[in-house]
Structures are given as structure tokens and as C-alpha cells.
Chain A
Amino acid sequence: MSYYFAIIGTQDNPLFEYEFGTSKQGGDGQSRFTDQARHLNQFVLHSSLDIVEEIQWTSNQLYLKAIDKFFNNYISCFITGGNVKLLLLHQPLNPAGAAGGTTRNSTSIGANPTSPQTEEAIKNFFTEVYENYVKAIMSPFYKANMEIKSPVFRARVAAAGRKYL
């Protein structure tokens, strides 16, 4: 189960990107994207921005759940108060609906991207990243839509990813 996480600013510019894999159930935390898939991930993620901008006016919640699906990739979104989008693309390893999947994987977050447990886990991940994001923008030297370069921030996102996903 691989994840590609990006923070997109108000001008549709990426502020932060991070790729990782699941650490639960024996996963080693490395993503399993092929090289070709890596290029595609960015396109898919940015193309879902249109949908986010439409949905954001219908719901006043910060966490919009899975909003888009592209073949095997599911995209979930969390929108901050300042209209900055935290987007997560997740790709289960087994194709969804494989009949011969082992029963051990059937309830894992990896195999089932739209289950309530997955949504809960992703929501926790987003909340933790949101807190760290607010701390990062509080710096008086941070201007709007600046890239977030801090290695401490990157480490914190990685830790949140390991903890929840």
C-alpha cells in the first residue's frame, strides 16, 4: 500500500511533497510505485483539484473524504481554513475486489481504501499533519504560498505516516 502526499497552496502550487508506504502489517515503509507511476501520481493528484474546489463549497467540514478515484488510485482531501489543500493519493497493492485475496489482508487499511477504518486512519493522519502545518506557517518569516522546506516538518510528517497509515 503506497501513499503519495502533497500540500497544494492557493495558487495550485505544491508546497510540500512526500512519498511513503505502509508500515503496518509487515510493510517496510517504502512506497511501491513504479517509475512510470510516479509521474502519473502528480497528474492524478493535481487533476483532482477541480473536484476539491467544487466540493469545498458544499460542506463546511475540514476533512472531505475520498473524493476521486482513478483506476486503482484513491484520492482523499483535507482542506485547511486558508484554502490550502492536503491531498493524499493511496494505491492498494492488491487490485480492489480481488476474489482470491488472503483473509488476513481483507480488513487491513491497505486492501480496503474506502472502509470506515481507513477513513478514520486517514483523518487522524491529516489532523496531525494539519497541526504541524499550522506550526510551520506561524513563523513570521513564512509568506503565503511559500514552499515548506523544514526538515523537521518532513520528519514529523513521516512519523505521522508511520503512526497512522
Chain B
Amino acid sequence: MGASGKTGSKEPGLRYPANGKTIFHRPLNRSKTSELSQASFAYLFSEMVSYAQKRVTGIQDLEKRLNLQGHPIGLKLLDLLLIREPVRSQARPLNIIALLHFIKGNLWTHLFGRQADRLEKSSNPETPDEYMIIDNEPLVNAYVSVPKEMSQLNCAAFVAGIVEGVCDGAAFPARVTAHTVGGKEEGEMWPGKTVFLVKFQPEVLEREALIGDRKS
């Protein structure tokens, strides 16, 4: 940052756009014209999937790549959504339930225009740290057809990456994976139903217990 000696001229190697407006001049609040067509997103997403597919050999790796692509988006969305809320209601999520409601409501509405369908806690006593977000029809899978030999693949791993980014950013480290539960039989209402399994690390649960004790 050694530009303090220069008198007002632009630094060498740093280019400014022609009309002088940097990204700092753009407004953060969403305007009506900033919506994107689903077709362009589907095109980009199909390219992302084939880009990842060329470089990996297995389904797990493919899902991992998509997950990694979504992770930084989640980190940025956390702050962006917080700043777009009206000032009175700006609050950081302090416990798991608040965080999951934020994801189910704000995040899903921002990404897909609707809330996630269901939020559940795992009823298995051996894994109290697992929560599930259920989406009947993930938007990203709308134009993706999975061949029979890769039937375990779910491209919503990308959205799982976004959710993982949000959780990690809010200091609730977690592993998020996407699983297809829609059956193939006739009469199934939502064949593409996807469950996002959110598994928090043990220190998150420890902290929840400590905070709970302190409050009561």
C-alpha cells in the first residue's frame, strides 16, 4: 500500500473503470432489475457440473467439488443478507435453531424465491447433531438429468456448499450433504425431493450447552 507519497494520481498497475465508478459505488440493496433468468443460470450450472466432471473420477469427488464451489458464496451471502435487513432486526444467529431458521427463510428466499419446505431435527439419539432441511424441488436440479449409473449423484451438492459456507461463517462449523429421497414409483409427488443433512461439529454442541446453562 505504498501510495501515500503520490499526489493524487492513480497507482500503476491498478486500473479504474472508464466512468470512475468502482464496486464501492454500487448499491447493496437489491433493485428490481437485478434478477437473473433461470435459463442463464441453468446454462452456467451445467457448465460447472461438466467442468467438475472432467477432472474427477468418482461421484464423491464430484459432489465435493461442487460443494467447494458453493462454499465462498455462502460466506459472502451471510454478510450481504444481514446488511439488507432493516436495521432494527439485524441480529446474528446465536444458536443452532436461529441459524437454521435464517437459512430456511432468508437464504432460501434470496436464492430461490421461496422458503425451504421443512426443517427437522434428527430423532436418532446417537446423532443429536444432525439436522435436515428438506426441499421438494431444488431449482438447480431442474435441468439436470442424472444417468442410471450415477444415480447417487445429486447436483444440489452445490447448494449444500452454500449452506456449509453460511454455517462456517457464522462460527457453527458443519458438514452439509445433499441426498435424494424422492422415490421412483408412480404417484410420488416430488420425485426430486432432496434432503440437506447438516451435521454440526461437536464443539458447536458443547458451546450450545454452555450458553444454555449460562442463560438459565
Q: Which residues from chain A sit less than 8 Å from chain B, CB to CB?
A: 10, 56-58, 60-62, 79-83, 130-139, 142-144, 149-154, 156
Does A57 lie within 8 Å of B94, measured CB to CB? yes
Q: Which residues of chain A come closer than 8 Å to B207, judged between CB atoms?
A: 57
Using a Cβ cutoff of 8 Å, how many contacts connect chains A and B? 75
Chain B proximity of A161: nearest CB distance (Å) = 15
* Bound complex: CA A80 to CA B170 (Å): 9
Given contacts A135-B28, A144-B75, A156-B24, contact A151 B170 (CB under 8 A): no
Does A136 lie within 8 Å of B211, measured CB to CB? no
Q: Which residues of chain B come closer than 8 Å to A149, judged between CB atoms?
A: 1
Q: Which residue of A lies closest to B80 (CB)?
A: A134
5 closest residue pairs by CB, A with B: A81-B82, A60-B91, A82-B169, A81-B79, A81-B78
* Bound complex: CA A10 to CA B142 (Å): 36
Does A152 lie within 8 Å of B91, measured CB to CB? no
Q: Which of B28, B79, B81 has the most CB of A within 10 A?
A: B79
Q: Which residues of chain A come closer than 8 Å to B211, judged between CB atoms?
A: 57
Interface of A is mostly: loop
Given contacts A83-B171, A151-B14, contact A60 B92 (CB under 8 A): yes
B48 within 8 A of A: no
B23 within 8 A of A: yes
Q: Which residues of chain A come closer than 8 Å to B22, judged between CB atoms?
A: 150, 152
Q: Which residue of A lies closest to B95 (CB)?
A: A57
Q: Which of B3, B14, B76, B78 has the most CB of A within 10 A?
A: B76
Our pick among A79, A143, A154 for the contact of B92 (Cβ within 8 Å) is A79
Given contacts A61-B91, A62-B92, A144-B72, contact A82 B78 (CB under 8 A): yes
Does B93 lie within 8 Å of A60, measured CB to CB? yes
What are 15 A-B residue pairs whose CB atoms fall within 8 Å in the complex?
A60-B92, A61-B91, A81-B81, A81-B169, A81-B170, A82-B170, A83-B169, A83-B170, A83-B171, A133-B79, A134-B83, A135-B23, A138-B80, A139-B23, A153-B24
* Bound complex: CA A33 to CA B1 (Å): 21
Q: Which residues of chain A come closer than 8 Å to B81, judged between CB atoms?
A: 81
* Bound complex: CA A156 to CA B22 (Å): 12
* Bound complex: CA A137 to CA B80 (Å): 9
Does A131 lie within 8 Å of B23, measured CB to CB? no
Does B72 lie within 8 Å of A143, measured CB to CB? yes
* Bound complex: CA A144 to CA B79 (Å): 12
Q: Which residues of chain A come closer than 8 Å to B78, judged between CB atoms?
A: 81-82
Q: Which residue of A lies closest to B84 (CB)?
A: A134
Given contacts A57-B211, A60-B91, contact A137 B14 (CB under 8 A): no
Chain B proximity of A160: nearest CB distance (Å) = 12
Q: Which residues of chain B come closer than 8 Å to A138, judged between CB atoms?
A: 23, 76, 80
